[in-house]
Amino acid sequence: MSTKNTMRAISQDVLGGPEVLKEVEVERPAPGPSEVLVRVRAAGVNPTDWKHRATGLFLGRPPFVLGWDVSGVVEAVGIGVTVHAPGDEVFGMLPYPFGHGSHAEYVTAPARSFARKPAGIDHTEAGALPLVSLTAWQALVDTADVRPGQRVLIHAAAGGVGHVAVQIAKARGAYVIGTASAGKHEFLRKLGADELIDYRETDFTEAVRDVDVVLDTIGDDNTFKSLRVLREGGIVVSILPVGPEELYEEAARLGVRAARMLVEADHAGMRAVADLVDKGLLRPTIAGAFPLADAAEAHTLGETGRTVGKLVLLAD
């Protein structure tokens, strides 16, 4: 049991499969200047979590506590904080990648990593949104500047980032094309997708042309193939931040653009996301919600690649 000065968290001592995750008792953090301490109510689980668990990725060797999504209640504020006060319900993304640690009962982070939680959704839904919604917003809006009437292709459209990106693109007035297995097409139509491609049966490069923006959530050869479906001046935005430099050379040869991005903590972005939620234009689909102690089960399910929407850990 946690005490006043400790908290429960999900940690690991070695890299490996979901079985390396364990519940531990650690010191409860305190907010520094310009930081807030948030009592975590819910925290999303994302592919980056199981990649870090297995390989260390940006974080290196464990021990570490994973998790970047947060929805919860401000417990205390550090000096200089004016945008939040104790008792505020907030949601946001911890600075990626080195601000990790939301798979715990409490977390500290810069105050402007968070925005007020929309009143129309609960903590489970709010905890599912930050990383995927900021990824989609920064790709489609900040990078690609999606405008009304443009044709937007979203790969893996039923996934965590994908199903949020469909809604953001529709909110921007775009014509949305998504790739997904046939069993997920009805789900995506209900989110507003205009056209769907079963990637198991159809090569998307033969099914679609004259696209203004491609959101690539898959990487590797898929990014290169996506260049070929763009109209002149169009852009592929990959959320896989590293890859061959030849991508940019090929884009230039074809008269199109390519960008690789890494999601950033973003107060303005979170407020934009909250505004879409308040207007009824964005809502996450929850693929499963698990108690904090069952983090390994959530990782196991996520790694199947068959979930629709987001997985969430509940810290209460």
List of long-range contacts for 221-224, beta carbons under 8 Å, 24+ apart = 222/155, 223/247, 223/258, 224/250
Return the CATH class of domain 132-260: alpha beta
217-253: pLDDT as tens digits: 999 999 999 999 999 999 999 999 999 999 999 999 9
- Cβ–Cβ under 8 Å, residues 38 and 70: yes
Question: Is the CATH number 3.30.470.10 carried by domain 6-117+285-314?
Answer: no
Q: Give mean pLDDT, residues 88-92.
A: 98
The confidence band for 2, taking pLDDT boundaries of 50, 70 and 90, is low
Reported as half-sphere exposure (CB side, CA atoms, 13 A), residue 166 has a value of: 27
The domain segmentation of the chain, as residue ranges, is 6-117+285-314, 132-260
170-182: pLDDT as tens digits: 999 999 999 999 9
Percentage of the chain modeled with pLDDT above 70:
99
Backbone dihedral angles phi then psi of residue 268, each to the nearest 5 degrees: -65, -40
- Report pLDDT for 1: 56
Q: What is the mean pLDDT of the chain?
A: 97
Reported as half-sphere exposure (CB side, CA atoms, 13 A), residue 139 has a value of: 35
The confidence band for 4, taking pLDDT boundaries of 50, 70 and 90, is confident
130-137 vs 160-171: helix axis angle to the nearest 10? Answer: 50
- Report pLDDT for 316: 80
